[in-house]
Amino acid sequence: MNEQTFLKQMDPESRGSNLRIRAHSLLESVQHLSRHALVTLFVWLLIGVALSLPVGFWLVQHNIHLLAEQLHDDTGFTVYFVPGSSKETIEDVQAYVAQSTVVQSVEFTSAEQALEEFQLVTGYDQELVALDNPLPASLSVVIQQDTPTTEVESLLDSLRSYAIVDGIDFDTEWIRNLNAIHQVVSTLMWIVGALFGFGVVFVTFASVRIAIESRFRELRVLSLLGASDRYLRRPFIYCGILYGFGGGVVATAIVYGALFVIRDPLNLLVQNFGGTIHIVSLDYFSASVEIGIGTFLGYLGALFVSIWEIQKRRTFESIH
């Protein structure tokens, strides 16, 4: 008889009993959390707050991204020509712009048309007619969607090299600023996410450590009764998972609550920037991911501390 066969014979009832052992451990964990309901609630709140911040940052950067994308649809610039430029040279420039792959449309406005529009808008009829037309001819250029900034910059540089081009008014300077803000928020999201993720692991670590200490005597007895390290760790790991799961649910509630409160002011802000999009909230998938991340971080914290503590407390395998 080899050793493995012997050991299986010694412990025949362990066969097929894994599910019952896990179910029992889960029940133990649920009972532990319910016996310490106040502590559990506090841990859930801590984890919830810690998780809601990076999720909040994610929502902000996601909404900025969507806003920038929507506004980018109308991105374009206006090329102003030196007054008195010949029609032929202006047509050359217009043809050059039109053949660019990044350009969606080009519209020429002559100096006369510009003056008419100005008069129409301002009502300064007599005064301007009395003067020479001070307004330049111009080209209004609309850029294709999703054009990389570098290609637009390249086209602008080419246009600036024309002597008849007096200036270029890039309409989307502030969108670039918005994109820069998006980058900053995105970076912040990762930093805050990493820090608060560590925080969640730490909170779970500390909470589960207290749970282990409170059951030290029981662990000692169970170890003497033949409980494996895995068996000893399991209820605490389930505790960590439940802490993380509950924290994820609380974080989702916090984010939904916060969005509910700031939805209207944010919509107004977006409209002021010319946007028409609605604020994107957490959908079911994102909420599930958030809860899943919380659960995973809870699991990590509990796994670390249970391995560490149970290994450290090997001395509990003592009969005195």
Q: Which residues bind other proteins (CB under 8 A)?
A: 1, 3, 6-7, 10-11, 13-14, 17-21, 24, 217-218, 220-229, 231, 317-320
CA angle 176, 182, 183 (to 5 degrees): 95
Rounded least distance, CB 246 to other proteins, Å = 23
Rounded least distance, CB 219 to other proteins, Å = 10
Give whichever of 272 and 318 is closer to other proteins, judged by the CB atom. Answer: 318
DSSP alpha helices (H): ranges in 273-318? Answer: 284-312
Give whichever of 170 and 231 is closer to other proteins, judged by the CB atom. Answer: 231
Q: How far is CA 197 from the centre of its chain?
A: 14
Rounded least distance, CB 244 to other proteins, Å = 25
Which amino acid is residue 168, in one-letter code? I
Rounded least distance, CB 38 to other proteins, Å = 17
* Rounded CA separation 71/40 (Å): 46
Rounded least distance, CB 8 to other proteins, Å = 9
* Rounded CA separation 228/231 (Å): 5
Give whichever of 8 and 263 is closer to other proteins, judged by the CB atom. Answer: 8
Rounded least distance, CB 300 to other proteins, Å = 23
Neighbours of 313 (CB within 10 A): 16
Give whichever of 126 and 320 is closer to other proteins, judged by the CB atom. Answer: 320
Decide if 192 contacts 54 (C-beta within 8 A): yes
Give whichever of 1 and 130 is closer to other proteins, judged by the CB atom. Answer: 1
Could you tell me which of 104, 50, 95, 119 has the C-alpha nearest to residue 72?
104
Rounded least distance, CB 232 to other proteins, Å = 9
Strand arrangement, sheet containing 165-170 = 103-109, 138-143, 76-81, 165-170
Contacts of 44 (CB under 8 A, 6+ apart): 243, 246, 247, 249, 250
Give whichever of 115 and 307 is closer to other proteins, judged by the CB atom. Answer: 307
Residues in the chain: 320
CA angle 101, 105, 111 (to 5 degrees): 125
Could you tell me which of 29, 83, 81 has the C-alpha nearest to residue 232?
29
Give whichever of 214 and 288 is closer to other proteins, judged by the CB atom. Answer: 214
